[in-house]
């Protein structure tokens, strides 16, 4: 009888905690990752008074006009023998979601990744100075602790190198990066896009190696797009818009430090993706208030009469423990087996142990 009362009580209380957690993330949904975003966008160039950086050639700053500051920022550089127009779609996209974006050209179209890394760092200096420039529409509105870099091809390799050169960079997005013999010992969270059929930077020779040589202590993701070519991530519309959704979520998570976007990545964008030929990841979601939310926002139903379903992106081991501490069940959750069957257990509350976490499961008849 005591167990029945406990089950009833937990049944009533559990949704309350869940609703509190989810209320914190009401604005972070797949539907919110639109192109364009909710904010109006305007631009600044050197003709408007922004700095002319010595390590790059020409710049355009895209910024939101009706969003709430302070704003994060990202600098983007194109690839070998390519103009800023090759990546310019990222400017209005990020800015329409509240992220100030500077897109630059290079002093030479033939600049190699290291020169492009220096160009990105110089572009971030322009952002810093814009925050202090009298008369700038961005004066005093930028969070200078939230600066990111990105680039395409050799620019993507340059973005990774920029994080090595400046450890204050809060995030990196490498678009089909090209960088031979990469030395990428940095701690900046990095998202790498690659194209499965990229003839210019084949993943096995470029992106895969970049991911592997980035330290395992660094939060990182490799997202390979099925049938993708070298320019598949040049715009946020790549892979039917998935590229933009993932990139925006990455910046919101690690640059703006909004944990709500972690579950969008882990439980939605990376799970059973129909546009990815390969996904590798080495990061975990921070707790949003309970252990249950750290890895398993997608387990349901709970309470249950029999089956509980789980959303996972890699295989994990579990043990099921009774309220008295007895081991009841051991097994694995895999992409082909995402369920635990409680039908043969009595009505009660159970503790599920997975990778150092404990979640409560409720069985009723």
Task: Assess whether 210 carries a catalytic annotation.
Answer: no
Q: Active-site residue among 97, 186, 210, 230?
A: 230
3-state helix, strand, coil in the chain (%, to 5): 30, 25, 45
Q: Is 287 exposed, middle or buried (0-12, 13-18, 19+ CB in 10 A)?
A: middle
**Pairwise CA distance, residues 193 & 160, whole Å:** 13
DSSP lists the bridge partners of residue 64 as 41
Angle formed at CA 87 by CA 85 and CA 91, multiple of 5 degrees: 95
Task: State how beta strands 171-175 and 142-152 pair.
Answer: parallel
For residue 344 the two structure tokens come to 């043969």
For residue 320 the two structure tokens come to 């099921």
Q: Active-site residue among 82, 150, 153, 188?
A: 153
Residues in the chain: 365
DSSP lists the bridge partners of residue 354 as 357
Q: Active-site residue among 111, 122, 198, 259?
A: 198
3-state secondary structure of 43: strand
Cα distance between the two ends of the chain: 13
3-state secondary structure of 8: helix
Task: Assess whether 96 carries a catalytic annotation.
Answer: no
**Pairwise CA distance, residues 143 & 131, whole Å:** 9
Angle formed at CA 87 by CA 84 and CA 92, multiple of 5 degrees: 105
In angstroms, the Cα distances linking 355 to 68, 218, 295 are 39, 19, 10
**DSSP element (H, E) containing 146:** strand 142-152
Task: Assess whether 186 carries a catalytic annotation.
Answer: no
Task: State how beta strands 357-363 and 348-354 pair.
Answer: antiparallel
Return the HEC string of 299-359: CECCCECCEEECCCCCCEEEEEECCCCCEEEEEEEECCECEEECCCCCCEEEEEEECCEEE
Catalytic residue set: 153, 198, 230
């Amino acid at each position: 009888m005591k167990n029945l009362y406990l089950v009833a009580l937990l049944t009533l209380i559990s949704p309350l905690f869940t609703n509190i957690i989810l209320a914190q993330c009401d604005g972070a949904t797949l539907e919110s990752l639109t192109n364009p975003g909710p904010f109006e966008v305007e631009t600044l160039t050197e003709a408007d008074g922004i700095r002319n950086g010595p390590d790059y050639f020409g710049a355009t700053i895209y910024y939101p006009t009706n969003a709430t500051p302070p704003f994060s920022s990202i600098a983007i550089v194109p690839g070998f023998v390519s103009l800023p127009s090759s990546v310019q779609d990222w400017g209005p996209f990020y800015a329409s979601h509240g992220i100030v974006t500077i897109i630059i050209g290079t002093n030479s179209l033939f600049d190699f990744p290291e020169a492009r890394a220096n160009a990105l760092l110089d572009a971030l200096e322009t952002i810093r100075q814009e925050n202090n420039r009298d008369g700038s529409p961005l004066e005093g509105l930028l969070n200078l602790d939230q600066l990111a870099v990105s680039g395409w091809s050799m620019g993507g390799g340059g973005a990774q190198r920029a994080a090595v050169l400046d450890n204050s960079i809060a995030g990196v997005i490498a678009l089909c990066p090209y960088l031979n013999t990469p030395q990428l010992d940095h701690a900046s969270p990095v998202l790498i896009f690659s194209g499965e059929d990229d003839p210019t930077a084949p993943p096995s020779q470029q992106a895969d190696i970049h991911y592997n040589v980035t330290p395992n202590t660094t939060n990182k993701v490799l997202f390979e797009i099925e049938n993708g070519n070298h320019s598949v991530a040049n715009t946020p519309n790549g892979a039917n818009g998935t590229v933009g959704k993932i990139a925006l979520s990455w910046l919101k998570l690690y640059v703006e430090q909004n944990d709500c976007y972690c579950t969008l990545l882990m439980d939605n964008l990376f799970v059973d993706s129909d546009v990815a030929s390969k996904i590798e990841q080495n990061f975990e979601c921070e707790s949003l208030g309970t252990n249950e939310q750290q890895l398993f926002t997608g387990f349901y139903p709970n309470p249950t009469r029999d089956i509980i379903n789980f959303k996972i992106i890699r295989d994990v081991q579990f043990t099921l423990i009774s309220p008295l501490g007895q081991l009841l069940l051991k097994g694995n959750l895999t992409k082909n087996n995402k369920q635990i069957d409680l039908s043969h257990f009595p009505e009660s509350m159970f503790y599920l142990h997975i990778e150092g976490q404990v979640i409560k499961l409720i069985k009723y008849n």
